[in-house]
Structure 1
Amino acid sequence: MSSFLSQLQGTGVALVTPFSAQGFIDFAALANIIEHVISGGAEYVVTLGTTGETPTLDKFEKTDVVKFTFEKVNGRVPVVVGIGGNNTKDLLKDLQNYPLENATAILSASPYYSKPSQEGLYQHYKALAEASPKPILLYNVPGRTGRNLTAETTIRLAKEVSNIAGIKEASGDMGQCIQILRHAPKDFLVVSGDDALALPQIACGMKGVISVAANAYPRAFSDMVRFCLDNDFAKAKTINDTLVDAYNLMFEENNPAGVKAFMTEMGLLKNNLRLPLVPLSDGVYNKIKAFLATR
């Protein structure tokens, strides 16, 4: 697992899915975004994460996005594929049917809405890991799923299920993060899922971030993370201080509406989302334009 750990240290970018005005996937824009983040120095990309509005993509679109991402990345950086949801049986089929040959790992968000017990979460992830052709990264994001994957359950999975290789931890609970880092096996990858907390979480021992903000700011964010991993927190803080206001604006109303607004102003995509998500309100969008005017 040591080579796996080295592949997914640093900054992974949870890619947005750009849409045309008619609501179709804008593959030309997606190609540009992939180039933008790779040339910006990101260590890997994550396709079909929740930042990619995957709940609104059908299975044919998801397959097309995965294949397209592999084609455009062309082996230059690792690709992690998001396969998560609240129907374990369907996810087991997806793990067998999606084109995963070129994937480095699977990122799987905890079941949403159902609010299973900790034992239910354990059995869900155990079933996925046993069926998966690739290592599984847990994704704990209770603000979206409605249920926290506790440190105890995370450590149990890390120790007892061999194909579970790491976690994207986005609870925002620093105490929980510290417990995971303290008790998980040494070869268990722990990365942040909170852009604004990345610096202190890496200081506590995390090995990187799966980032939203790096869609817009791959160079600055990746440099910040690399400085953190090199224990040069003074330089990391200097960069992070320039990004803090951007983090706040990106998440003021909704993700990915916030980062898509930034990327629209940067010419990377058109400001289109799929219902139930809508573009930012004019008030927040104008704050972003004012912020960018000062850069």
Structure 2
Amino acid sequence: MNSKFLGTGVALVTPFNADLSIDRDALTNIVNYNIDNGTDYLVICGTTAESATLTKEEKKEVTAIISEANNGRLPLVLGIGGNNTTTVIDEIKNTDLSGIDAILSVAPYYSKPTQEGIYQHFKAISAVCPINIILYNVPGRTSKNIEAETTIRLANDFENIIGVKEAGNSMSQYYELIKNKPEDFLIISGDDDLALGVVLAGGAGVISVIGQGFPKEFSEMIRLGLKGEAKEAFKLHFKLIDVIGLIFEENNPAGIKGVFEALNLCRDTVRLPLVPASNALKSKIATFVENH
């Protein structure tokens, strides 16, 4: 099994200055905060990074900042995906993947392909990608579920497709994947609220949003879950469950940036069409952080 992706990965935010430029210092501090507190690997330019509003040049900048701050300490996963298969292939071919351990590639969104279309999309990506691929199923954003049967088919057919970040918020689909997956294929939770249950059922861990705000407790919870120590793990789960609900109450990443603002790690600034968390929500988040 690809042990470097066992445990807690975090989908890093992109901190912005007041003028909406990338806040290099804040991003560096967030990387170090996570490494120092037990996070197992870092995910660059995912949804939480507001990658939809980053230019190609900014994505390169974000990747360089994180890579420099990480300095080889943790494995790195880079988000490269989309609904134009040819464009995704071109991006893979034209991206410097040295120092990157895998790409995270989202299911094609908006176009609503059939399951065969999804299969052929990832088959084409697999053929050109020189490093490992983690599929990303998030039907709440793409409007199309990668059905468990399709994921297992891809897992069996392509050696460099090593796992899936599953974020369908469906325990029955998690169970189907875990039950039928090849032995070394990674079922990674993309649902913070379900992550512990997924791990206890045989999942490999999580790619988390909240984990980057509370890396010490969250990564320890997942470690305990991987060891089957459910009672101790659930103590941490219940400690964090309220804030997991809070950060997704309005939009992501406004909620987690509210956490970072309360921790004095970055501003709560996001780019349109997203807006910062409301004052009422930020107050609840700040209260949680203060009493945590």
Task: Classify the TM-score, shorter chain.
Answer: over 0.9
Deviations 1:25-80 (A, max 9, x none): 00110000000000010010000111000000010111111122111111101000
Q: Where does residue 158 of structure 1 map in the other structure?
A: 155
Aligned AA (2:215): P
Please report how far the alpha carbon of residue 163 of structure 1 lies from its aligned counterpart in structure 2 after TM superposition. 1.6
Task: In structure 2, list runs of 5 or more residues that go unmatched.
Answer: none
For the residue of structure 2 that corresponds to 1:168, the secondary structure is strand
Alignment partner for residue 12 of structure 1, among 9, 14, 18?
A: 9
Q: Where does residue 47 of structure 1 map in the other structure?
A: 44
Kept in 2: contact 1:158–1:188 (CA 8 A): yes
Q: Where does residue 252 of structure 1 map in the other structure?
A: 249
Q: Where does residue 68 of structure 2 map in the other structure?
A: 71
Please report how far the alpha carbon of residue 189 of structure 1 lies from its aligned counterpart in structure 2 after TM superposition. 1.0
Q: Where does residue 143 of structure 1 map in the other structure?
A: 140
Q: Where does residue 232 of structure 2 map in the other structure?
A: 235
Kept in 2: contact 1:67–1:99 (CA 8 A): no
For the residue of structure 2 that corresponds to 1:55, the secondary structure is helix
Separation in 2, partners of 1:48, 1:165: 19
For the residue of structure 1 that corresponds to 2:194, the secondary structure is helix
Aligned AA (2:60): T
RMSD, aligned α-carbons: 0.8
Kept in 2: contact 1:130–1:163 (CA 8 A): no
For the residue of structure 1 that corresponds to 2:193, the secondary structure is helix
Kept in 2: contact 1:109–1:141 (CA 8 A): yes
Alignment partner for residue 291 of structure 1, among 271, 288, 292?
A: 288
Q: Where does residue 125 of structure 1 map in the other structure?
A: 122
Deviations 1:130-163 (A, max 9, x none): 1101111000000111100000100110011222
Separation in 2, partners of 1:227, 1:294: 24
Aligned AA (2:284): K
Moved over 4 A (4+): none
Aligned AA (1:158): A
Please report how far the alpha carbon of residue 292 of structure 1 lies from its aligned counterpart in structure 2 after TM superposition. 2.5
Please tell me whether residue 84 in structure 1 is matched to residue 81 in structure 2.
yes
Aligned AA (2:177): I
Aligned AA (1:157): L
Separation in 1, partners of 2:289, 2:174: 33
Please report how far the alpha carbon of residue 191 of structure 1 lies from its aligned counterpart in structure 2 after TM superposition. 0.7
Separation in 2, partners of 1:92, 1:204: 34
Kept in 1: contact 2:77–2:102 (CA 8 A): yes
Q: Where does residue 226 of structure 1 map in the other structure?
A: 223
Separation in 2, partners of 1:76, 1:234: 31
TM-score, normalised on structure 1?
0.97
Please report how far the alpha carbon of residue 290 of structure 1 lies from its aligned counterpart in structure 2 after TM superposition. 2.4
Kept in 2: contact 1:66–1:99 (CA 8 A): no
Separation in 2, partners of 1:291, 1:126: 44
Aligned AA (1:26): D
Separation in 2, partners of 1:7, 1:286: 37
Please tell me whether residue 106 in structure 1 is matched to residue 97 in structure 2.
no
1:156-235 alignment, distance < 5 Å: 156-235=153-232
Deviations 1:184-204 (A, max 9, x none): 100111110011101111111
Kept in 1: contact 2:45–2:79 (CA 8 A): yes
Aligned AA (1:253): E
Aligned AA (1:89): T
Deviations 1:66-111 (A, max 9, x none): 1221111111010000101111111101101112111110000111
Please report how far the alpha carbon of residue 291 of structure 1 lies from its aligned counterpart in structure 2 after TM superposition. 2.2
